[in-house]
Amino acid sequence: MQGTAHLPASKSESNRALLLQKLAGGGTLTNLSEANDTVLMARLLGQAAHADLLDAEDAGTVMRFMTAFLAVSNWRGILTGAARMKQRPIAILVEALRALGAGIAYVEQEGYPPLRFLGGEINAAATELAVRGDISSQYISALLLVGPVLPAGLRLRLTGEIGSRPYIHLTLKLMQHFGGRAAAPAPDLVAAHPGGYRPASYEVESDWSAASYWYALVALGAAGSAITLPGLRVQSW
């Protein structure tokens, strides 16, 4: 068995890269994921400039990343979602953004979407926050991604057991690629220094998880079987 298999692009990289491109004010992204979450993320980032009602539908990553982005964008309006999304808590992220000076209110149930953004320039009341490390890494990544555009940057002290550390590492690497000064100076500390981002070109890596099926196929195949998987980096983030 010989051949080439073209894998789908990484959705995790695509969503982060789209937000960084927006915060940087430009740049070129190639090999973006065609997943619904990524298509929706791109659409909402484009609509935010002229709409006062945005719908994240049932995409959790989009809801979390857009919440952080809108909080630092002097945006006024409502970010909502599907009925199922309105049952998913978001208080940890909202309260962290409020501590940084963001004006956000709950429209219906306390601690859950929809969210009303009150606009205004963010005035960081705190520059270091304690965040539980066992929550979804998307909360941590959402805060980190907007850290460099805050007046004094942001330091997150991660408490408890830290899950999904590879996704936090991915976020930091992508931030650095777009010129953000971000690092993990200690196992329980991640920091984003002020200074913003700069436009950059980036090719999204293919999805390593999708490669596992091809590895299994080759392993079960005849001796000498080989499948080429373009788009994967040896030094993957």
What's the predicted TM-score (pTM) here? Answer: 0.90
Give Cα separations from 93 to 43, 96, 233 (angstroms).
22, 5, 32
pLDDT attached to residue 215: 56
The larger pLDDT score, comparing residue 83 to residue 234, is at 83
Alpha-carbon gap, residue 167 to 29, rounded angstroms: 20
- What letter does residue 206 receive in the DSSP assignment? B
CB atoms within 10 A of CB 115: 26
3-state percent helix, strand, coil for the chain, nearest multiple of 5: 40, 20, 40
2-228 CATH, one of 3.65.10.10, 3.40.50.180, 3.30.720.200, 3.20.20.80: 3.65.10.10
Q: Say whether pLDDT at 16 is over 90.
A: yes
- In this predicted structure, which of 30-34, 49-53, 77-81, 205-209 has the lowest mean pLDDT? 205-209
Tokens of 170: 């991915």
Alpha-carbon gap, residue 191 to 137, rounded angstroms: 15
Q: Where are the alpha helices (DSSP H) in the chain?
A: 11-24, 36-47, 60-71, 91-99, 137-146, 165-177, 208-220
The larger pLDDT score, comparing residue 121 to residue 28, is at 28
Using alpha carbons only, give the angle 133, 107, 102 rounded to the nearest 5 degrees.
Answer: 55
CB 142 within 8 A of CB 72: no
Residues 26-57 pLDDT 10s:
999 999 999 999 999 999 999 999 999 999 99
- What letter does residue 57 receive in the DSSP assignment? T
Read off the pLDDT of each residue in 76-87 and give the average, rounded to a whole number.
98
Alpha-carbon gap, residue 182 to 148, rounded angstroms: 8
Consecutive H or E run containing 130: strand 128-132
- In this predicted structure, which of 56-70, 105-119, 184-198, 211-225 has the lowest mean pLDDT? 211-225
Alpha-carbon gap, residue 80 to 60, rounded angstroms: 11
Longest pairwise C-alpha distance within the chain: 64
pLDDT attached to residue 135: 86
Q: Say whether pLDDT at 199 is over 70.
A: yes
Q: Say whether pLDDT at 170 is over 70.
A: yes
SS3 91: helix
